[in-house]
Structure 1
Amino acid sequence: MMRYGLYARSVTVLLAAMLITLAVVVLILQRQGEMREEMLAHSRDSLHQLVQDRLREYGEGQARRLAESLVNPLYYFDLDAIGSSIADVQSQPNVDYVLVYSAGGDVIHDGSRDIATYGRAMDDAFAHDAISTEGVRVQSDGRVLDVAAPIRIGEERLGGVRIGYSLEALRRDENNVSVELRKSLQEIGQRHLQWVVWLLAALVALGIAMSLIVQRALVRPIRQLADAAREIEAGNYGAEVPASRRNDEVGELMRGFRRMGESIARHDRDIRRMAYNDPLTGLANRLAFREILDARMLQSQGAARRLALLFADVDDFKRINDTLGHDVGDEVLVQFGSRIRGIVERYGGDGALLARFGGDEFVILLESTDDIREVSSRLAGLLVDELRRPILVEGRQVFLGVSVGVTLFPEDASGATMLMKNGDIAMYQAKVAGKGCYRFYSRAMDQAVERRVRMEQDLRGAWERGELSLVYQPVFRVADNRLVGAEALLRWHHPTQGMVAPSVFIDVAEQSGLIETLGPSVLRAACRDAMRWQRDFGGADLFVAVNVSPRQLRTGDLARQVEEVLRETTMAPERLHIELTETAVIGDELRISSLLARLRESGVKVWLDDFGTGFSGLSHLRRMPIDGVKIDRSFIADVLRDPDDLALTTAIIAMAHSLGITVVAEGVEQEGQFDLLRERGCDLAQGYWLGHPMSPQELARLIA
């Protein structure tokens, strides 16, 4: 297939130009006379219309002004003043007549000295419409342009005025202009012929133009492509490649090169976006944040500007993924990111940067010449307050919070790595402090974090090494002081530190997730001990109570674990009591209620521990499927001295009994407390007065 190439294109352009020029010359010679007459006729019509419109506008304005000036003279019938007013108008060029008439159409003044037509009724062709018009009216018969306007005082019509303009003089002027225009067109025609001659001469220069065309069509595009190739080679992927609609080899080459350049630039943008942006929220990621942080720290050295890092971590976010799924979790993160972005944009000041480091962790960089501690403290407080509000996801409200750690540069660190580490430590301390708050980094935090990390490392594998063990605090029936069960308590004997307080290592296990592996082990060991008491010491009717952490509840796997343990140990379900705190069920009561109902259907008892210290109080007795409540030790401690504690304890016992729920009193340390609880009808009790936590062997001897 033959290609329509550059050489063929240049020959075609030259021949086409010569043919087009010759055709234009012939056409001009044929049409020159016709065009002249058509232009004259069109110009004459346009001029006539223009003059008519201008005269009409002028007449309407003149009549309106004259009518306004004649109001008082006509009202007082001052003929001299009327004559003086219309005399000025009548003296103007092309004014044929001026008539002032009454409301009935009788002539009052015609502009003459003796007013020869005074009192006559106007009976010309324009009279009727002029008399009846409510506004300015223009009429014409080709000879005269009649403009009439009413004269009013308020709503009362006194009469009117008519001005007649002669059109004969205007017609003569139009003819004179047409004659001049014809002469001008003839001169233009002559110049047009000269232009044609010059056009023919231009054909001679066409050969020279062809060389310029080749230069423009071939050499310059290739040079542009070469320049763009060098820019792309140098790493400037956004180099502009000129567009081309040509259908030849060069056009195809330029389009192909442009597509290649755009593809390279697009892939470069995609790679940069993937490298520097979080795909879920669109925020900057860790890599982009670190590069900007390094640059800002370098710029701030020796300057008055100071930096602050805010590490914000969503509290209990794993619960969302575990209970509602990762899709809902992603939507929650997007909404969190949007809220944080809005706060940072409004209150973060110039230069504030927000990034997502992955998971549920967001980091904010602040820069200010003011008190950076005050600025970052205000922003951290706003974050905590704003993100405490519920999030609506799939038609349900999700309550979360955020823990924020704040670290300052250059006070807390001299490098970016240490600064980010300090921010993470401060955020962790906010978590330890109870979540939903913010903390500034301090040197003492390093030691606390090191101790906690070391404790977490030591706690891993502690159960397998035999360092963790169970002790049991006996539970007695208050009515007859008979042993009915025991609560399993976890203890840790560290090889170097000795006994570690449960409040310390249980929190570490909860935060680190170790509780998810320790919990089933504790449950299994407690059930095995209970079966041993039954087999060896006759404790067939004794129950064992095992505490369950909020994290175990959120996994949703507790019911299956309990069923497996009961099946392995062959223990009767009614001998197992599961204890959970009141605060563990707040925020997700519907799902946890379903879980607890499944446990109770299998025969396992469910107790609500530390009752009265949560946020919902006695309302859980109605809504949660539970078998018993344990009155918190803080109420029992002062029940003999504080009437309020006594009243609350009595009310809890009465309310629980009215609902068929067993009541257990914790922390009984005096005989008087035990006697008082018996008087108030409390079902069960435990405490140091009844029995300290003891090893399985000691409890076995107690049973025996």
Structure 2
Amino acid sequence: MFSDKNVKVIIGLFCLSIMAFLSHRLGIVDTSYPILINTNEKPKILINSIYVDANVDDKQGISIQCKLTKQEGYNFCGIGIPLTDGTRNNGLDLTKFNRLGAIIKYTTPSDKAKLKITFRNFNDTYSNLTDTVSLKFNSISYNPSLHELPVVIPFDALQVDNWWVEQYKVGFSDSQVELSNVSYLEILTDGMHTLGDYHIEIQCIVLYGQLITEANLLKLILLIWLITVIFLVTFQHNILKRMSITDSLTGLFNRQGISNWTNKKISSRVNRQKLYMFYLDLDDFKKVNDTYGHKVGDQLLKGFSQHIQNYLDCIENIQYSFARLSGDEFALVILGLKEGQIKNFAASLLCVWESPILLEEHEPYARASLGIAHLSEEINTFDELLARADSAMYYAKKDGKNRFKIFNQTVSQDIFFRKQTAEKIKNAIIQDKFYLNFMPIFDAKSLNMVSVEVLLRANDQTLQSIGPEVFIPIAEEYNLIKNIDLWVIEATFKQIKSEFSLLNLIPLIFCINISSVELHNPNFVKKLTELLELYQIKPQQIELEVTETSLVEADLMSVSTLQEINALGINLTLDDFGTGYTAFSQLINYPVSCLKIDKTFIDNLNSADKTKSTMIKAILSIAESYKLKTVGEGVEYYEQYSFLLEQGCDMIQGYFFCKPLSWENLKKSLNDPNQQKLRQEKIINLSKHSI
């Protein structure tokens, strides 16, 4: 699509075209050339036949007196007006003129007498300097008595005299009217058929024309339009091409731009040991957006990129390409650094953003993790190099953020391990080699089992040594988590339906973990609804758990998905609460009904540092304010249970009461009336020992 400037250019050119055409029609581009007839600088040539007496007076205009004395043969009388300095082959070019205007009075013995006007043109093809008659006769004859003065003669009416063509045996191509080198203008009588006096009085002769003909003007306008359109299309193409490789926010290359640049360098067979990729990812950028707003976040990204560019411009003997890939992710490709300089360069790069970035109203800090990879023989594309740098950056994040990691054998082995694990997960899904365990959740006061958390386990021997805490993140990385989520949900629904009678007598809520990926999956709620209807499951029997960290990057679509799930009648639990930096005030934005206090807070309740216990108290207090249920997970000791109960925690989950159970053992526990009593006795006995 053309830009506003291009549209303005086209409108302006259209207006100029119309103005040029109208100006031409109004005669603004007309030109004229008066032929000097009353000057002695160019002597006039009296022309007459043998039986004609003639004389000329050119003091005022030109007056030619002619007297036919004998009527025999072809007689003529007139004058030749030189249009040059006397050199016949150096005439005037009259091609830009299209008509002649003349005031010529002609008195004759007969009213039918005609006057002949001739432009004599010189051309080397048919003319001879020594022979005046060899100049071409471009002529027109007219009867002056039939025309008012001034008479206007169009050049289109001129014709080459036939007698001249025949006499000089001129070919067809040279027998056409030609006015490119006119030496003389002749005004003669066209035959004198009656004896007597003939008088020719020439008062004024003017040549009229146009600087450009209308046809040529139209051609010129069309040419200008063609050139302009080609220019605009080329210009627009270059703009679109530049836009396609440029990040609109920072003005840096985008992914396509840096990919093109890097692939050209790789194709040019640069020294592979001197090309390095740096993958930069800002740490905790979401906090900046949440704290200051997205406007400040955008300013921070621009300020961060400018800081890096300023630093890079100060380094000599390097070539670089810097790009914003997406969000808060950047890529830097450098050519010219030596292997021994990489660590120092990376450390210096980390120091660039040690100082706050000065913005309009704030001075936030930017922190970033770096992944570094160098071009090697087995790498042939930008994407392969980026994948290595991305993997190295992942490890820098794991090691504590705001540091760098160079891609090495350890990183390579881990990538291989994750790829292998992803393949094993895929096969396990296809071959149905997963099964479920169930972790009981108890009411903190009555110690009744009120719900169970559904846990995924692998039957496949290749995955048995790899726990869910390892293979679930890998499944998310390789886009397999959606299949796992649906498998867990459907397998749970099948178990519920198979034990319809038991669960009707002993109500139990099944808590199922779903990945943050589902919050951006437009088909998830639809599929969930279909499974509920297929297995005739009551929504009240199901509770879906999402981790608090999955809401760190929550957007409108995420919140909308949560609202759609809640609208089905399914409750939502926020798992691992306290680890995702969700502001307490933000809880009102999410349709959750329960908070799970993360195990890391409960593990350290007995430590001298009271920070964890203070945090738990704050979580429970806020939950009460928002009328949310709470679950303490990972409870392993009586003291932990006692503290949570005393602070008002609603439910307890952990090895202190029960480990994960198979479906069969869960049924036995539900059917055993003594289980609750045994738990209560355990609490009583432990409470006595703690006094």
Instruction: Give TM class, smaller chain.
Output: 0.5 to 0.7
Give, in angstroms, the shift of residue 630 of structure 1.
1.7
Whole-angstrom distance in 2 between the partners of 1:584 and 1:405: 24
- Match of residue 425 from structure 1: 388
Whole-angstrom distance in 1 between the partners of 2:534 and 2:472: 26
Whole-angstrom distance in 1 between the partners of 2:439 and 2:351: 43
Give, in angstroms, the shift of residue 543 of structure 1.
0.7
Whole-angstrom distance in 2 between the partners of 1:402 and 1:483: 46
Give, in angstroms, the shift of residue 434 of structure 1.
4.5
- Asked if 1:348 is matched to 2:316, the reply is no
Whole-angstrom distance in 1 between the partners of 2:423 and 2:415: 12
| Pairing 1:186-585 to 2, within 5 Å after superposition | 203-205=85-87, 207-208=89-90, 247=213, 278=244, 281=247, 292-293=261-262, 306-311=274-279, 342-343=306-307, 345-349=309-313, 351-354=319-322, 363-367=331-335, 371=341, 373-375=343-345, 378-379=348-349, 405-408=371-374, 412-414=375-377, 417=380, 421-431=384-394, 434=397, 439-444=404-409, 445-460=411-426, 462-536=428-502, 540-555=506-521, 559-585=525-551
Answer with 364-373 or 479-488: which moved more: 364-373
* Counterpart residue type for residue 366 of structure 1: I
User: Are the equivalent residues in 2 in contact too, given 1:348–1:379 (CA < 8 A)?
Assistant: no
C-alpha deviations, 1:176-213, integer Å up to 9, x for none?
xxxxxxxxxxxxxxxxxxxxxxxx997235734769x9
Give, in angstroms, the shift of residue 353 of structure 1.
2.6
Give, in angstroms, the shift of residue 544 of structure 1.
0.6
User: Are the equivalent residues in 2 in contact too, given 1:387–1:402 (CA < 8 A)?
Assistant: no
Whole-angstrom distance in 2 between the partners of 1:22 and 1:333: 86
- Asked if 1:605 is matched to 2:571, the reply is yes
Answer with 622-631 or 445-454: which moved more: 622-631
* Counterpart residue type for residue 310 of structure 1: F
- Match of residue 629 from structure 1: 595
- Match of residue 221 from structure 1: none
Whole-angstrom distance in 2 between the partners of 1:504 and 1:443: 21
SS in 1 for 2:452: strand
* Counterpart residue type for residue 278 of structure 1: S
**CA shift in 2, pair 1:466/1:382, >3 Å:** farther
- Match of residue 656 from structure 2: 689
Give, in angstroms, the shift of residue 417 of structure 1.
2.0
User: Structure 2 length normalisation: TM-score?
Assistant: 0.54
C-alpha deviations, 1:436-484, integer Å up to 9, x for none?
8674432222222222223223323532321233221111223232222
User: Are the equivalent residues in 1 in contact too, given 2:281–2:328 (CA < 8 A)?
Assistant: yes
User: Are the equivalent residues in 1 in contact too, given 2:84–2:90 (CA < 8 A)?
Assistant: no
Whole-angstrom distance in 1 between the partners of 2:513 and 2:255: 40
Bigger strand fraction: 2
* Counterpart residue type for residue 488 of structure 2: V
User: Are the equivalent residues in 2 in contact too, given 1:356–1:363 (CA < 8 A)?
Assistant: yes
User: Are the equivalent residues in 1 in contact too, given 2:605–2:640 (CA < 8 A)?
Assistant: yes
User: Are the equivalent residues in 1 in contact too, given 2:263–2:382 (CA < 8 A)?
Assistant: no
Give, in angstroms, the shift of residue 634 of structure 1.
1.9
SS in 1 for 2:546: strand
Give, in angstroms, the shift of residue 583 of structure 1.
2.7
User: Are the equivalent residues in 2 in contact too, given 1:582–1:608 (CA < 8 A)?
Assistant: yes
C-alpha deviations, 1:597-638, integer Å up to 9, x for none?
554454322222222333246445665443222222123223
**CA shift in 2, pair 1:375/1:680, >3 Å:** closer
* Counterpart residue type for residue 688 of structure 1: Y
Whole-angstrom distance in 1 between the partners of 2:87 and 2:392: 87
SS in 2 for 1:564: helix
**CA shift in 2, pair 1:401/1:469, >3 Å:** farther
**CA shift in 2, pair 1:479/1:247, >3 Å:** same
* Counterpart residue type for residue 332 of structure 2: I
Give, in angstroms, the shift of residue 486 of structure 1.
0.6
C-alpha deviations, 1:66-97, integer Å up to 9, x for none?
xxxxxxxxxxxxxxxxxxxxxxxxxxxxxxxx
* Counterpart residue type for residue 507 of structure 1: P
- Match of residue 181 from structure 2: none
Whole-angstrom distance in 1 between the partners of 2:579 and 2:326: 36
- Match of residue 666 from structure 2: 699
- Asked if 1:663 is matched to 2:630, the reply is yes
Whole-angstrom distance in 2 between the partners of 1:362 and 1:547: 32
Answer with 501-510 or 676-685: which moved more: 676-685
C-alpha deviations, 1:97-155, integer Å up to 9, x for none?
xxxxxxxxxxxxxxxxxxxxxxxxxxxxxxxxxxxxxxxxxxxxxxxxxxxxxxxxxxx
**CA shift in 2, pair 1:266/1:462, >3 Å:** farther
**CA shift in 2, pair 1:253/1:423, >3 Å:** same
User: Are the equivalent residues in 2 in contact too, given 1:596–1:625 (CA < 8 A)?
Assistant: yes
User: Are the equivalent residues in 2 in contact too, given 1:407–1:441 (CA < 8 A)?
Assistant: yes
| Pairing 1:94-173 to 2, within 5 Å after superposition | none
C-alpha deviations, 1:469-525, integer Å up to 9, x for none?
322111122323222221011223444343422121111222333223332332232
User: Are the equivalent residues in 2 in contact too, given 1:402–1:437 (CA < 8 A)?
Assistant: yes
Percent identity, please: 22
- Match of residue 24 from structure 2: none
* Counterpart residue type for residue 204 of structure 1: G
**CA shift in 2, pair 1:529/1:299, >3 Å:** closer
User: Are the equivalent residues in 2 in contact too, given 1:422–1:441 (CA < 8 A)?
Assistant: no
Uncovered stretches (5+) of structure 2, i.e. residues with no partner: 1-30, 44-58, 60-81, 97-210, 286-293, 361-365, 672-691
**CA shift in 2, pair 1:490/1:389, >3 Å:** farther
User: Are the equivalent residues in 2 in contact too, given 1:380–1:438 (CA < 8 A)?
Assistant: yes
User: Are the equivalent residues in 2 in contact too, given 1:294–1:416 (CA < 8 A)?
Assistant: no
- The aligned length equals 468
Whole-angstrom distance in 1 between the partners of 2:512 and 2:590: 18
**CA shift in 2, pair 1:687/1:524, >3 Å:** same
Computed over aligned residues only, the root mean square deviation of the Cα atoms, in angstroms, reads 5.4
**CA shift in 2, pair 1:279/1:623, >3 Å:** closer
- Match of residue 161 from structure 2: none
* Counterpart residue type for residue 346 of structure 1: N
C-alpha deviations, 1:40-86, integer Å up to 9, x for none?
xxxxxxxxxxxxxxxxxxxxxxxxxxxxxxxxxxxxxxxxxxxxxxx
- The answer to which structure, 1 or 2, has the higher relative contact order (CA under 8 A, 6+ apart) is 2
* Counterpart residue type for residue 693 of structure 1: P
SS in 2 for 1:504: helix
C-alpha deviations, 1:401-433, integer Å up to 9, x for none?
98753334xxx5258626752332222342465
C-alpha deviations, 1:216-260, integer Å up to 9, x for none?
xxxxxxxxxxxxxxxxxxxxxxxxxxxxx9659999999988887
Bigger helix fraction: 1
SS in 1 for 2:89: helix
User: Are the equivalent residues in 1 in contact too, given 2:442–2:451 (CA < 8 A)?
Assistant: yes
Whole-angstrom distance in 2 between the partners of 1:209 and 1:372: 80
